[in-house]
Structure 1
Amino acid sequence: MDGIYFSCADVTSLSPHGFWLQCGEEELYLPFVEFPVFEHATIAQICRVRCVSTGRVYWPELDVDLTLEAIRNPMAYPRDSMNYDC
């Protein structure tokens, strides 16, 4: 994915069940049960996250591109509509 990246996203905490992502003023939790693509990723892969716009984040090593809305409301977005393979 080419383009301009904004440094607005940081992983602040990891647990065996998921991780916390700070996006600007907002901190979001991504549980592995809702986002299984991250479950077997390394800590380094999870921590290398980029903002590609004010509403999207991208993990280049995992080729995962998610909107913040999909992270906030994962039940509203079927897994097959998200840009990753489970």
Structure 2
Amino acid sequence: MFGLGDPEQKVEFNQFKAYTKELSIYTSYLNPHTTRRAISLLESGAIDTDKIISAELNLEEMGEELKTLKNSRKGKVMVRLSGEL
């Protein structure tokens, strides 16, 4: 999952726990120049999303998915935040 908070909000964490649990912290880089091209590919049908997306879930179903990873292991899970599937 990917989420991002307020750019001015500082994040605090226990460095010692991260060390003892051997945690790794990764960031993500978004290339703003690829978004328009990706949308165009999706709109044109050049990418068959049926082969990529393993499930479309509503927000209430995500708790179970995070416990089991049933759909995540098969492909991309899309989450609908509002409205019906």
Question: Is the strand fraction higher in 1 or 2?
Answer: 1
Question: Is the helix fraction higher in 1 or 2?
Answer: 2
Q: Scaled by the length of structure 2, what TM-score is found?
A: 0.22
The structure whose Rg is larger is 2
Q: Scaled by the length of structure 1, what TM-score is found?
A: 0.22
